[in-house]
Amino acid sequence: MTARIIDGKAAAQAVLAQVKTVASAFAAAKGRPPGLAVVLVGEDPASQVYVRNKSREAEAAGFRSEQHSLAATTTEAALLALVARLNADPGIDGILVQLPLPKGIDTERVLMAVDPAKDVDGFHPINVGLLGTGATAKALVPCTPAGSLILIESVLGPSLAGKNAVVVGRSNIVGKPIAQLLLQRDATVTIAHSRTADLAAVCRQADVLIAAVGRPEMIRGDWVKDGAVVIDVGINRIAAPERGEGKTRLVGDVATAEAAERAGAITPVPGGVGPMTIALLMANTVAAAHLREGLPRPTFSA
């Protein structure tokens, strides 16, 4: 068996095209575009790239796009004051504070300060609670899990009734929220992790296997059930001496070549879940704009 490769880039472009159409209709109805503010503190190179990409996609979608780049020496009080200003700005629908924040700034306090209605990362406890109680029509859901679900639905359709789903990883950013989303699609869900007894055997029960553990190629091919849908959330940079001295390459949490021999469908790394994360940030922003204006929430698909 050779697995179908789930093209995250194509799926992301489909979502972004829908976002652009919905944003245009919103602007026509409300006399203003959806607004996204991205806040970057410090000069972490990876964060700079992410923020630049997010701002570019926001502009392409027709949003009002603001980028606030603050020095690494910025105080927590100054950052909180900026968040308060953005909370009060009626033209801003989404606020994203790029992580990690510099040492000396309380990340939890900053994220808690963001208006839950503008929390397009889906990290605020109110959004976590709405998701956990099944109120997804009101919740802003973390982007990576939401994007992963769209990829799963592109293969299996909207209902996962009768499917066993195994999530390897229990983070608040990916593992727990994707488990909630899968439950709401009627899957039978197991959350596994590094302390799970006989993790390989648990994974082999999965019709849908989500790897979000942050360990390079930890999930081996013989851990994968024949025909399973495998969603690899991991992005790990490892040494690649075959490319030359000091060279590296990106791999996921799944040994892709091995797993592809057994899986029915699998996301590659790179080019799988990654592109969906930014697409869902744009989708969350336009959804937040609709919810804030009392309009029906738009939905998106691959």
Residues with active-site annotation: 54, 98, 121
Q: What's the CA gap between 72 and 128, in Å, rounded?
A: 29
What burial letters (b/e) apply to 257-283, b meaning 16+ CB within 10 Å?
ebbbebbbbbbbbebbbbbbbbbbbbb
Q: Which two tokens stand for residue 220?
A: 């081996």
DSSP alpha helix (H) spans, 90-219: 107-113, 125-132, 143-156, 175-184, 199-203
| 296 Cβ contact list (under 8 Å, min separation 6) | 290
Reduce the DSSP state of residue 242 to 3 states and report it. helix
Task: For residue 63, give the nearest of 278, 252, 299 by alpha carbon.
Answer: 278
User: Residue 79 corresponds to which tokens in the numbers above?
Assistant: 């950052």
Dist CA 257 CA 169 (whole Å)? 21
β-pair type (236-239, 248-251): antiparallel
What residues have CB less than 8 Å from 280, skipping those under 6 apart? 15, 143, 144, 146, 147, 150, 300
d(CA 55, CA 121) in angstroms, rounded, equals 15
**Token reading at 269:** 């790394």
Is-contact 55 38, C-beta < 8 A?
A: yes
